[in-house]
Amino acid sequence: MEIREILAHNLKTYRRAQGLSQEELAHRAGIDRTYISSLERCVYAAGIDVVDSLAKVLGVEASDLLKRPERGASRRRS
Amino acid sequence: MEIREILAHNLKTYRRAQGLSQEELAHRAGIDRTYISSLERCVYAAGIDVVDSLAKVLGVEASDLLKRPERGASRRRS
DNA sequence: ATGTGACTTTCAGTCCGTG
DNA sequence: ACACGGACTGAAAGTCACA
């Protein structure tokens, strides 16, 4: 799994957990709207400083955004 | 503490733990020697793909390179 | 074996828009 | 609220010579 994909996944997950839209997140992090969209679609390899500012808005550590998701336990059993 | 400094610190620490010179690390990661030097001196905010390739050579996760160092327990008592 | 300045090229990141 | 495109700018990516 590519590092961009990991970031994209975590970004999307944490963002939704906070109930934020891409626009809201972009605004609060002082980053362009369309760039967030690009990151979640793995268009760019973000710089660590934007990872850091995104992490701050999302209330997590920068390193958390680069952690590969858990192997087994993703799906919620209905 | 700035994210660049964290990366610089961890990079240096892990590199030395592996007994690698900047040149060796650079060579193995397919990156220029002087660029490693720049990163360890906080000249740039590296991209996550660079962080990832460095992490692979150092045998750690990309997220480990962005983890802020432990508060207390760094200095070894002589 | 590393720091640093000067340099060129690539791409991250912005800003405008559309569907 | 999001995907996606074009055009642009500045910083990162990459190279070299010298201390």
User: Confidence class of residue A50 from pLDDT cuts 50, 70 and 90?
Assistant: very high
For the entire predicted model, the pTM comes to 0.92
B10-39 residues touching A, CB cutoff 8 A: none
Q: In this structure, is residue B55 part of a structural domain?
A: yes
**Residue in the block written with tokens 């660590």:** A48
| Nearest residue, CB atoms, A63 vs list B4, B46, B63 | B63
In a domain, B78, yes or no: no
- The two three-digit tokens of residue A49, written as one number: 């400083």
B49 contacts chain A (CB < 8 A): yes
- A68 near A1, Cβ under 8 Å? yes
Which residue segment(s) compose the domain that A47 sits in?
3-63
The answer to the question of residue A45 being in a domain is: yes
Report CA(B25)–C1'(C3) in Å, whole number. 17
Does B16 fall in a domain?
Answer: yes
CATH of the domain at A51: 1.10.260.40
Domain contains A74: no
What's chain A's Rg over C-alpha atoms?
A: 12
In a domain, B27, yes or no: yes
Q: Which nucleotide does the CA of A35 lie closest to, via C1'?
A: C13
Residue B70 lies in a domain: no
Which residues in chain B show pLDDT less than 70? 72-78
